[in-house]
């Protein structure tokens, strides 16, 4: 695993060397220079940030969704059900992102599962208070409020509307999974003592097992993935595999028009008539970003490498960087629990509509995001196993619905 992790980090380094233009964009002087240089070579009208506007688009749909994962799938389903035409671009040649490999815990309050199990005293308010406590003053209360109110509904939606496994096959974790420092799936006992808060017991499981990539084994994350994957396929929502977001295409006023993506050797421009939704996950595999935001956990630089090895190989932060290149702000960047790599390292700043905000706090028109590509919902204490998946599903749904309304 370690060998694989280092090999991947070397790949990332090589890729990053090729991305000198992106490096350029990190400074305002660089952005201007890169704009002039690229503008001279490319045909379309030049945009100050992101990719140039092409003269001709390769494809047009209402909503372009980046990432066939925990955020992208609910976004696609909701946007489709609201009447929009949708296209999902997935960087890898397999589907599912972290969802497929995750343990399958999903947090939410006041669900039909809880009711069936006789748990009647759980409320979104309790979830709100707990997630706010875990945020230790760094999280956005409005985002947490929306999350707490919609998390239980998201579980009900997956079971009732999308035909997920029957209620009787779900269970609730009796306590948050917390194995202490080193392998931390939830806030630690030290945290509870410090703040005097009670842990939530809202993590819903469908036969939890060790994470697997095998989606034929219907358990844990594979079961959650199957619900969303089946629903996406039933709607015939198209997906382009091995197609990676490179840059966003936006007007000089930063209205997002579409994306520039790469499929093998082929660069393509896809117009999003309504919106682009970023669901590309976090940045644990991007060594430069790790060094910048989480230096003590940078690949090869500490215990983070072990966690990287068992976690994602798809999180290169491309969605975050693409948003930043057109002026998006970041939230809770570098905040995260000491070891888990996939749950709260920060990312694009969003509002309660899942709109990506610029550095002045204004929504960037037609740009939405959710999941680990965003920040603001979790800080140093990961609340509990289950909150990572459910925050992604909730804001994916919100993004999909709002994008379709445009």
How crowded is residue 292: how many other Cβ atoms within 10 Å of its Cβ?
14
Q: HEC profile for 28-64?
A: HHHHHHHHHHHHHHCCCCCCCCCECCCCCCCEEEEEE
Beta-bridge partner residues of 87: 64
Distance CA 363, CA 365 (A): 6
Least distance (Å) from ligand FAD to the CB of residue 136? 19
Least distance (Å) from ligand FAD to the CB of residue 373? 6
**First-to-last CA distance in the chain?**
45
**Segment interacting with ligand FAD, rule: CB under 6 A, options 16-24, 100-108, 112-120, 247-255:** 100-108
Q: Which residue's CB comes closest to ligand FAD?
A: 69
Give whichever of 132 and 377 is closer to ligand FAD, judged by the CB atom: 377
**Segment interacting with ligand FAD, rule: CB under 6 A, options 36-44, 51-59, 103-111, 136-144:** 103-111
By CB under 6 A, name the one of 215, 226, 274, 311 that touches ligand FAD.
311
Two structure tokens written together for 35 = 């704009």
Distance CA 166, CA 360 (A): 45
Distances (CA, A) of 305 to 183, 300, 314: 13, 6, 15
Two structure tokens written together for 120 = 């009647």
Report which DSSP code applies to 186. Answer: B
- Residue pair 58/47 in contact (Cβ under 8 Å)? The answer is no
Least distance (Å) from ligand FAD to the CB of residue 349? 15
Least distance (Å) from ligand FAD to the CB of residue 74? 9
The answer to whether 186 contacts ligand FAD (rule: CB under 6 A) is: no
The answer to whether 110 contacts ligand FAD (rule: CB under 6 A) is: no
The answer to whether 371 contacts ligand FAD (rule: CB under 6 A) is: yes
The answer to whether 176 contacts ligand FAD (rule: CB under 6 A) is: no
The answer to whether 388 contacts ligand FAD (rule: CB under 6 A) is: yes
Distances (CA, A) of 66 to 71, 179, 247, 287, 398: 9, 33, 11, 21, 15
Report which DSSP code applies to 157. Answer: I
* Count, residues near ligand FAD per rule CB under 6 A: 39
Of 28-67, binders to ligand FAD (CB under 6 A) are: 66-67
Distance CA 204, CA 173 (A): 6
The answer to whether 342 contacts ligand FAD (rule: CB under 6 A) is: yes
Least distance (Å) from ligand FAD to the CB of residue 88? 8
Of 264-283, binders to ligand FAD (CB under 6 A) are: 279-281
Closest C-alpha to 152, from 398, 399, 394, 406: 394
**Segment interacting with ligand FAD, rule: CB under 6 A, options 15-23, 269-277, 330-338, 386-394:** 386-394
The answer to whether 71 contacts ligand FAD (rule: CB under 6 A) is: yes
- In the complex, which residues of this chain contact ligand FAD (CB under 6 A)? 66-71, 89-92, 97-99, 101-105, 211, 244-245, 279-281, 311-312, 314, 318, 342-343, 371-373, 385-389, 392
């Amino acid at each position: 695993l370690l060998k694989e992790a280092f090999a991947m980090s070397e790949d990332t380094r090589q890729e990053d060397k090729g991305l000198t233009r992106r490096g350029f964009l990190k400074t305002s002087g660089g952005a201007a220079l890169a704009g002039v240089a690229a503008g001279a070579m490319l045909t379309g009208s030049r945009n100050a940030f992101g990719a140039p506007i092409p003269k001709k688009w390769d494809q047009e749909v209402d909503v372009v969704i980046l990432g066939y994962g925990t955020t992208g799938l609910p976004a696609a389903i909701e946007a489709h059900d609201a009447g929009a035409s949708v296209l999902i671009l997935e960087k890898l040649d397999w589907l599912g992102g972290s969802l497929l490999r995750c343990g399958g815990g999903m947090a939410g309050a006041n669900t039909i599962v809880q009711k069936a199990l006789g748990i009647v005293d759980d409320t979104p308010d309790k979830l709100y208070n707990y997630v706010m406590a875990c945020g230790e003053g760094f999280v956005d209360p409005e985002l947490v409020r929306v999350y707490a109110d919609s998390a239980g509904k998201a579980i009900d939606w997956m079971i009732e509307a999308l035909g997920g496994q029957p209620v009787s096959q779900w269970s609730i974790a009796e306590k948050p999974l917390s194995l202490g420092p080193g392998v931390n799936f939830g806030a630690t006992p030290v945290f509870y003592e410090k703040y005097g808060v009670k842990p939530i017991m809202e993590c819903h499981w469908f036969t939890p097992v060790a994470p697997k990539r095998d989606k034929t084994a219907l358990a844990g994350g594979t079961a959650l993935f199957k619900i969303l994957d089946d629903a996406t396929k039933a709607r015939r929502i198209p997906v382009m595999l091995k197609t990676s977001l490179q840059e966003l295409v936006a007007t000089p006023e930063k209205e997002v028009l579409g994306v520039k993506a790469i499929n093998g050797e082929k660069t393509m421009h896809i117009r999003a008539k309504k919106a682009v939704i970023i669901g590309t996950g976090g940045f644990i595999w991007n060594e430069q970003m790790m060094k910048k935001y989480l230096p003590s956990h940078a690949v090869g630089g500490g215990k983070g490498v072990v966690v990287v090895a068992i976690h994602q190989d798809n999180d290169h932060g491309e969605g975050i960087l693409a948003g930043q290149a057109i002026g998006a702000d970041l939230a809770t960047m570098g905040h995260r629990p000491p070891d888990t790599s996939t749950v709260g390292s920060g990312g694009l700043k969003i509002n309660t509509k899942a709109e990506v905000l610029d550095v002045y706090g204004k929504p960037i028109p037609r740009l939405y995001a959710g999941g680990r590509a965003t920040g603001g919902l979790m800080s140093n204490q990961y609340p509990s196993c289950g909150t990572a998946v459910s925050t992604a599903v909730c804001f994916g749904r919100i993004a999909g619905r709002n994008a379709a309304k445009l």
